[in-house]
Amino acid sequence: MADEFTHFDSGGGAVMVDVGDKAVTAREAVAEGTIRFNRGTLALISGGGAKKGDVLGVARIAGIMAVKKTADLIPLCHTLLIDSCGVDLTVDHEKSAVKAVCSVRLRGKTGAEMEALTGVTVALLTVYDMCKAVDRSMTMEDIHLIEKSGGKSGHFIQGKTA
């Protein structure tokens, strides 16, 4: 693990990391998060009864669009050419929740962690937006990186030590 932050210069000013000398490698990142509802809200989503339409379909597209716009949202992120991106949303009736998982693949000089995390977050925010008229008690929880591979720092899997 690096012992210092990379986004600051010697004077403490914020800078974009110079990746010019880094090798282009295959990179992948996977992130996930959960949104919890009251049971009535989940029934509306599952049954297609939400007034704004297909909640999970719209959230999936929003998550993919967010991946492509990450550098516009997070000031020091590099613009990346995404090879593939997927956002999967799974309904968990027992927990009255929807889990979002975002996978991002690319070939580049820097990783895709921020893109995967942004995709999950915007997908969950979209679910919230589409359901807030019937449930303002929703909570978004446990948004985190599950796995990343490629680049100098190697392979990371949540909960496993290298």
Whether 160 is in a domain gets the answer no
Which CATH number do you get for residue 137? Answer: 3.30.70.640
Q: Which of 58, 74, 47, 59 is nearest to 140 (CA)?
A: 59
| CB contact at 8 A, 103 and 28 | yes
Whether 22 is in a domain gets the answer no
State the residue range of the domain holding 78.
32-150
Q: What is the pLDDT of residue 49?
A: 59
Whether 51 is in a domain gets the answer yes
Tell me which of 83, 88, 129, 135 is the catalytic residue: 129
Whether 74 is in a domain gets the answer yes
Whether 162 is in a domain gets the answer no
Whether 91 is in a domain gets the answer yes
Whether 19 is in a domain gets the answer no
Q: What is the pLDDT of residue 86?
A: 98
The total of structural domains in the chain comes to 1
Distance CA 63, CA 126 (A): 8
Chain center to CA of 78: 16
Whether 20 is in a domain gets the answer no
Q: What is the mean pLDDT of each run of 10 residues along the chain (162 residues)?
A: 63 73 90 95 78 85 98 91 97 95 94 95 96 93 95 84 56
Q: Known catalytic residue: 129?
A: yes
b/e code 10-27 from CB counts within 10 Å (16+ = b): eeeeeeeeeeeeeeeeeb
Q: What is the pLDDT of residue 51?
A: 60
